[in-house]
Structure 1
């Protein structure tokens, strides 16, 4: 059986490995296909695609856009998109500027609590995205918290003492941006957003009309029942099924790159379905 991972993050957003290191790790773990889907940035894709071009591993560029719909926070994955698309990059610039301002406000709140952490104390890739995980790592390095869970629970989650709300774009706009850039928009970890999946059936027709191509069915936090329900919904709405681990670092959530017997793995057939969709889209552009 061949396994893949279509949801990973590098140090160009909030992961710890470079795009090249992600590819090397994927090869070590015997994966056959890998996607890079950094948060709200495509800055790492040139490195990722160039390094993977001559490796015995199929690589596909992607992104994960922070979005909203109603009162819900949605994440929209995009695969195979033209990451030089001007409209896409304009929207990402706006997201990155808003994220930078949010980071400064979080640091101000921490400073007001007597925790002296400055922006210069955050460790990040020069051209990469900075977010709450970078602040969490700074809290851990300073000995303020023992791990990520404590850092987010005490300070960085909604309701935490240093929490600042984030700017996001509408989910329909995120889907349209990805589709207009030639990519396949996919709703990330749907059962994390809606554990009962009771609201998803009513939401999917509108997302589908905007250009949604798939659902992230395979995901470590999805239960067996949620997985089965998502497979059924994908089939009912004519959506492809994708999956990945949401990998950031080896010890972040205990799930290794590519998954495991316990967390579940993503079959190569999902990559074939995704690339088949992208090939059809290229043959029949809107």
Structure 2
């Protein structure tokens, strides 16, 4: 039987809307055999997810999605199959937590100046951990300021808007070094979603490989067959393993756990190195 892998999803431990247990249960319902919970800059949901996975008969891979800065842009690096208690990982995630909290407070201050008081407190009621822009977006929808999360980013939270605060994250090389020190593998998350030209994506992959990165996500949601083939060619050209992940955050009509995540032929799967 062919296994179904989904090595990138989120829970209420960061900006997802389902608890770690609910994510695992949904994955089981969708026929997923191997799952990685990759919450943003936290591993707080892993223990709960592991218990649920044991009950559901799913193999759970330890995961995290680390926010990094590269050439002035935010780039996400997924870590897979590492020791979440390793001192270097613990220290890095504590640093990221402090940076995320600082940013969240500044966003709240900007929203207050825009006529929306107590936004931080409101967003915090929707968060199980650190407050993210996604929680602010949901709170703005709840207030009736916007009709959906996307509109919240277009009107308030996106770059250049009144409540935008530039993130201050670690660099990619630090993220890779930390993941590998903890015994894991580093993966470029969703390479085509950074609004980069092909030239700049190749430059990103080149730097990632130079710093010791090992894999890139090739199959995700919303891709065409041609896009997957292009990513597969780049993976082979740069000697990177291929990974797959839905980047599931909440039940919706366009993203589902384990759905359409086939890896193109000719790419070496990252899970063969777990």
Q: Which runs of 5+ in 1 are unaligned?
A: 279-286
Q: Partners in 2 of 1:24 and 1:269 — Cα distance?
A: 29
Q: Structure 1's 212 and 165: CA in aligned 2 closer, same or farther, altered over 3 A? A: same
- More divergent stretch after superposition (224-233 vs 183-192): 224-233
**Corresponding residue SS for 1:24:** helix
Q: What is the match of residue 201 of structure 1?
A: 202
Deviation digits for residues 191-219 of structure 1 (CA, Å, limit 9, x no counterpart): 12255422333443432232211010002
CA contact (8 A) 1:175 1:212 kept: yes
Q: Partners in 1 of 2:263 and 2:237 — Cα distance?
A: 21
**Corresponding residue SS for 1:215:** strand
CA contact (8 A) 2:242 2:263 kept: no
CA contact (8 A) 1:41 1:129 kept: no
TM-score (norm 2): 0.91
Q: Partners in 2 of 1:121 and 1:197 — Cα distance?
A: 40
Q: Report deviation, 1:73.
A: 2.0
Q: What is the match of residue 87 of structure 2?
A: 86
Q: What is the match of residue 162 of structure 1?
A: 163
Q: Report deviation, 1:51.
A: 2.2
**Corresponding residue SS for 1:266:** coil
**Corresponding residue SS for 2:67:** strand
How many pairs were matched up?
271
CA-atom RMSD in angstroms: 2.2
CA contact (8 A) 1:61 1:80 kept: yes
2:181 counterpart of 1:185: no
Q: What is the match of residue 42 of structure 2?
A: 41
CA contact (8 A) 1:7 1:245 kept: yes
Which residue among 268, 272, 277 is the counterpart of 2:273?
277
**Corresponding residue SS for 1:35:** strand
Q: Which runs of 5+ in 2 are unaligned?
A: none
CA contact (8 A) 2:127 2:135 kept: no
CA contact (8 A) 1:34 1:58 kept: yes
Q: Report deviation, 1:179.
A: 0.9
**Corresponding residue SS for 2:269:** helix
> What does 1:194-273 correspond to in 2, within 5 Å?
195-251=196-252, 254-259=254-259, 264-266=260-262, 273=269
TM-score (norm 1): 0.88
